[in-house]
Amino acid sequence: AIQLCWLRNDLRCTDNQALWHASQQGPVVAVWLISGDTWKAHDDAPVKIDFWLRNLRELGLSLATLNIPLRIIDVGTWSHCAEALLELASQLNAQGLFFNDEYGIHEQARDAEVERKFQHAGLDCRRFTDQLLFAPTSLKTQAGTPFKVFSQFRRQAYAQLHSHLPACLPAPQRQSALPLTSDTPPAQLDDFPAASPLQQQLWPAGEAAAQQRLEQFCHDALMDYHATRDRPDLQGTSQLSPYLVSGILSVRQCLHAALRVNQGEFASGSPGAVAWINELLWREFYKYILVNFPRVSRHRAFRPATEAIPWRNDPAALEAWQQGRTGFPIIDAAMRQLATTGWMHNRLRMLCAMFLSKNLLLDWRSGERWFMRQLIDGDLAANNGGWQWSASTGTDAAPYFRLFNPISQARKFDPQGDFIRQWVSELANTPTVSIHAPQPDSLLKDNDYPAPIIDLASSRERALTAFRELATP
């Protein structure tokens, strides 16, 4: 009997747990649900939706070579998923539904409802851990509580990997052709403008492109990752995040690629490989936090006490930050990189998030939302985790008194100013000595690069006071 495989953020044939297991039970029909209203409510960026559609087209071609039809249904919102899937199951006389777990509270509620309704209709529903190396409830402290500190989480993660390294699955075998047609993904959806040609070129779709990027990174940059990962002016990181977030690539494939370079070691050997695997575990950790502390999925601070911070209301400052016109070149370069490419370097995400939440003392949630609306790799767990880390409201976050100074950070991590020159055209001809903190009188008269919108020293004091008052009520 036919098995349905409901694809979501797992748009690949190889090492796809649900797809492979479905293929072991009978002929598979893959299904994808368009849910524009929910995506909009979740602030999913148009550039990410475009990436999904482009990847879906590639996936449809790969599935066709395996004789797996792809059905696409527009359900509008997630509240209609269950009925659409049941209807399809009944049309095709399908016996079961296979899908991979997702971890936000809305995703979990959606999936629980689908599971309940399938079981009620007497149909099988099978779910798999696929996005993660470990099911989020499988790691616990000795007291049986969830970890809150990354280093402790990582210690147990290492132990688990030592005793049971998750393997990669192959693509399903080609099945006999079914008398069913496939749907072609739409080129574009209403309300979600297409990505720019530059964005499409920077982020090519398809599993082959993702695998090639992974191989190239492992070959060219992995060994030096620990030394170059903080340098936005170099190609020091993998830029695989969009592929991991949408599941064009699995975390197991990434881990195994790094292990191959590092002779099977994840905690010793090449410092570059160890540092990169460490980042894969941060990804794991933030999804773990999302599941075990669901308040962070509801826009609440991990540390409830920080909800009392007197965030300022300053629309002009927020807009200057969003538009990359703060007068701090590294912040502006980063925000423009985000707007133009849909991606931002990790060091800069931390700098921009700290600048907003500390120096501007604006609610971190306004920055989190802006990032989500722009990022091709927008992911609730990682974005929320990164914001709460930077704003010192999160688990294992930066201590509140450790504020990054955007000028000294720029000098350290973009020493020649090349990254700034690339993104801030007003500073394209500014010499290295002054590029990190240009004095207004050093710029040409018709140059409209803004003066700094705040004073670093006094805004730093303001943030420290706000946090200190929390610490000693």
Choice from 96, 232, 386, 417 touching ligand FAD (CB under 6 A): 386
Q: Which is nearer to ligand FAD, 241 or 459 (CB)?
A: 241
Asked if 273 contacts 222 with a C-beta cutoff of 8 angstroms, the reply is: yes
378 among annotated binding-site residues:
yes
Q: Which is nearer to ligand FAD, 4 or 333 (CB)?
A: 333
Least CB distance to ligand FAD at residue 285 (A): 7
Choice from 377, 394, 437, 463 touching ligand FAD (CB under 6 A): 377
279 among annotated binding-site residues:
yes
355 binds ligand FAD (CB under 6 A): no
383 binds ligand FAD (CB under 6 A): yes
Q: Which is nearer to ligand FAD, 244 or 261 (CB)?
A: 244
58 among annotated binding-site residues:
no
Choice from 100, 250, 366, 390 touching ligand FAD (CB under 6 A): 390
387 binds ligand FAD (CB under 6 A): yes
348 among annotated binding-site residues:
no
Residue number of the CB closest to ligand FAD reads 386
Instruction: Show contacts with ligand FAD in window 229-288 (CB under 6 A).
Output: 229, 237-241, 244-245, 279-280, 282-283, 286
Q: Which is nearer to ligand FAD, 311 or 449 (CB)?
A: 311
Q: Which is nearer to ligand FAD, 98 or 203 (CB)?
A: 203
The residues that are catalytic are 279, 282, 311, 346, 364, 387
158 among annotated binding-site residues:
no
| 336 vs 343: CA distance, rounded Å | 10
Instruction: Show contacts with ligand FAD in window 210-229 (CB under 6 A).
Output: 229
Q: Which is nearer to ligand FAD, 102 or 115 (CB)?
A: 102
379 among annotated binding-site residues:
yes
371 binds ligand FAD (CB under 6 A): yes
268 among annotated binding-site residues:
no
Least CB distance to ligand FAD at residue 439 (A): 29
Binding site for ligand FAD (CB under 6 A): 229, 237-241, 244-245, 279-280, 282-283, 286, 345-346, 349-350, 353, 371, 375, 377-379, 382-383, 385-387, 390
Q: Which residues are annotated as a binding site for FAD?
A: 225, 237-241, 276, 279-286, 377-379
